[in-house]
Chains A and B, each alone.
Chain A
């Protein structure tokens, strides 16, 4: 075990090397660029045995790693924002072809205007595609989860691709002390690549021709949903396995911070969950018992786990760093749509904040939490279920 100070992006690069990925293809885009730069450096120094395909676009980047993965080797790509949108067609294609591979998404605002700072519109735009989607809170988690995702996506119960998400600059370009596991440890954790089929010369296997039977096609489509549901158990199991080897467990699908005795919960994804923890502590210090529910996997959406965490609370505040324009924040929508059928009727509010990279920190969460408690305790409910946080 080595301890280094690394940016989130370099954590991704080391995880890719340790996972013995064979093919990497990517197209530069800020803030993803330093991932492929670092992998290229590791390759050129002879530290990583990876074949790079330096393509002309993100659409081709995902196409190339799809080709490599379908031909039988472990493959990886990374992108952000407009790059992710440009490859969106291939995002669907890879999932429906049931080809496991891993992609890092460094979340970034979508233009116009041109804006490189973090928000979550790019990653949340992929929710319906059939990929596993996780958001990391810190750089150690970025490194660990990238390795784990290879194991999760290549599990026969799952056989779907996966995204590890990290916030632009807050994680991607900020150094933190990180433990790098030994290669032997990763080797003992990560089995040889498994995948549902391999395209080989001399074997007339055809992937993707027109179906004769639409019910079969329909079932294939639904099985992507079932695969993601099955992934819930795999994610939790792999989290325990990794925990045993490294001492680092993250809770699998979700992580709860002081949830048990909390009256109120912050719910969120990504790097700003760290600020929520700090805000919860400060609020507790002034008599408001807050906890934080960090949703690690947006897909599969761990609704049973989430419902268990929010049940019996006096109020829930869901923070979204993106908005499904014309509706509400996507995390909130996922949560409330599972609350009603489970007869869970508690005050819940969606705060959309930090769009376009606008800075939101623990003081903001503190103030929002404070006024939420005031509103709920005075009226017993919330007047506006959806609010845009205008900043201080």
Chain B
């Protein structure tokens, strides 16, 4: 039975008083984490937008237990919390909620270490494809051609493929998700919580401020990423890759919308040349071919 909106709990974990920007995908994602894991969640949050979104001490706009931690330390702190909770037999799901910087760049060694040890935590990479909290600087997860405040003429390197890197760690569960597909994300979170060991979920999170689109369009942009095939929803249980239902239609290349439709809605791709669009299309096609090959094995 697929999950429906009626199955979701009514408790709210993202409250008035939070400091998210209008149209923020992280606030959406945190709401889904609350719906999926409820009162069992303990969040470990390194430096990033959610450091601010939480709102001001001594109050808070989030009603999770949260340990804020230094930028590159999150997965190690979470490992410690998880081990302690197991020792004192307190039922909990320890979640690292980290941006692309704290996942793929400054925090990568810590993440890789926890994954290799198969520590019992869920790492969620909330990927808004640049360092948004410090003012839109490029990260290794910024796509090719995207404008940022440290790549004024567009990024010259392609986006690092974190999901495949995490699958290569041999962990029991890796998934991708999108803020436009909450049911898919919630199901994946619940599955991850039921598995012992290291779990990685990569949440695609279009940022209106950094990507230069209207705050009312976050879900539309996120959906276009799926419909153009630029972002693929999938999961890998014990390394076995499966394309998730929302992305399944786009296995057929002809059903994918032209990539241009995704790019032209975002100011960050305003100056992208036709050659670069071709290069991005090639990147998308090659990734799909690889995924289809891997998922058919």
Contact call A207/B84, Cβ cutoff below 8 A: no
Contact call B56/A201, Cβ cutoff below 8 A: no
CB-defined contacts of A212 to chain B, threshold 8 Å: 56-59
Question: CB of A331 within 8 A of chain B?
Answer: no
B219 to A: closest C-beta gap in Å:
27
Interface residues of A in 172-189 (CB under 8 A from B): none
Contact call B42/A201, Cβ cutoff below 8 A: yes
6 cross-chain CB contacts under 8 A: A51-B83, A59-B72, A60-B113, A63-B69, A200-B42, A205-B66
Question: CB of A152 within 8 A of chain B?
Answer: no
Contact call B51/A206, Cβ cutoff below 8 A: no
Interface residues of A in 70-87 (CB under 8 A from B): 70-73, 75
Q: Mark B57-73, 1 if CB is under 8 A from A, else 0.
A: 11110111111111011
B41 to A: closest C-beta gap in Å:
7
B192 to A: closest C-beta gap in Å:
16
A111 to B: closest C-beta gap in Å:
21
Interface residues of A in 20-65 (CB under 8 A from B): 22-23, 25, 51, 53-57, 59-61, 63-65
Complex: how many Å from CA A338 to CA B196? Answer: 56
Contact call A200/B79, Cβ cutoff below 8 A: no
Question: CB of B266 within 8 A of chain A?
Answer: no
Contact call B113/A55, Cβ cutoff below 8 A: yes
Question: CB of A203 within 8 A of chain B?
Answer: yes
Complex: how many Å from CA A44 to CA B62? Answer: 42
CB-defined contacts of A204 to chain B, threshold 8 Å: 60, 62-65
Contact call B84/A210, Cβ cutoff below 8 A: no
Given contacts A53-B83, A70-B81, A209-B60, contact A63 B76 (CB under 8 A): yes
Question: CB of B3 within 8 A of chain A?
Answer: no
Given contacts A22-B84, A67-B78, A201-B91, contact A206 B73 (CB under 8 A): no
CB-defined contacts of A71 to chain B, threshold 8 Å: 42, 80-81, 84-85, 88
CB-defined contacts of A68 to chain B, threshold 8 Å: 80-81, 83-84
Contact call B117/A53, Cβ cutoff below 8 A: yes
Contact call B85/A51, Cβ cutoff below 8 A: no
Interface size class of A (residues with CB under 8 A): 35 or more
Given contacts A57-B109, A201-B41, contact A209 B57 (CB under 8 A): yes
Question: CB of A390 within 8 A of chain B?
Answer: no
Question: CB of A202 within 8 A of chain B?
Answer: yes
Given contacts A72-B84, A209-B51, contact A199 B42 (CB under 8 A): yes
CB-defined contacts of B82 to chain A, threshold 8 Å: 67
Complex: how many Å from CA A23 to CA B83? Answer: 8
Complex: how many Å from CA A201 to CA B55? Answer: 20
CB-defined contacts of B247 to chain A, threshold 8 Å: none
CB-defined contacts of B72 to chain A, threshold 8 Å: 59
Closest to A50 in B: B87
Contact call B113/A67, Cβ cutoff below 8 A: no
Most buried by A among B44, B63, B85, B116: B85
Question: CB of A89 within 8 A of chain B?
Answer: yes
Given contacts A57-B109, A200-B65, A201-B65, contact A23 B56 (CB under 8 A): no
Q: Which residues of B contact A (CB under 8 A)?
A: 39-42, 44, 51-52, 54-60, 62-70, 72-85, 87-88, 90-93, 109-110, 112-113, 116-117, 119
Question: CB of A171 within 8 A of chain B?
Answer: no
Complex: how many Å from CA A54 to CA B79? Answer: 11
Complex: how many Å from CA A104 to CA B41? Answer: 33
B64 to A: closest C-beta gap in Å:
6
Contact call B84/A57, Cβ cutoff below 8 A: no
Given contacts A22-B84, A209-B51, contact A60 B67 (CB under 8 A): no
Question: CB of A90 within 8 A of chain B?
Answer: yes
Complex: how many Å from CA A318 to CA B288? Answer: 70
CB-defined contacts of B57 to chain A, threshold 8 Å: 206, 208-212
A sample of 4 more A-B contacts (CB under 8 A), given A22-B84, A63-B74, A67-B79, is A55-B117, A67-B84, A206-B62, A212-B59
Complex: how many Å from CA A204 to CA B41? Answer: 10
Complex: how many Å from CA A41 to CA B74? Answer: 28
CB-defined contacts of A90 to chain B, threshold 8 Å: 70, 73
CB-defined contacts of B83 to chain A, threshold 8 Å: 23, 51, 53, 64, 67-68
Contact call B110/A207, Cβ cutoff below 8 A: no
Complex: how many Å from CA A212 to CA B114? Answer: 34
CB-defined contacts of A66 to chain B, threshold 8 Å: 69, 73, 77, 80
CB-defined contacts of A352 to chain B, threshold 8 Å: none
Given contacts A206-B54, A207-B68, contact A59 B84 (CB under 8 A): no
Complex: how many Å from CA A201 to CA B66? Answer: 9
B85 to A: closest C-beta gap in Å:
6
Contact call B80/A65, Cβ cutoff below 8 A: yes
Complex: how many Å from CA A59 to CA B81? Answer: 16
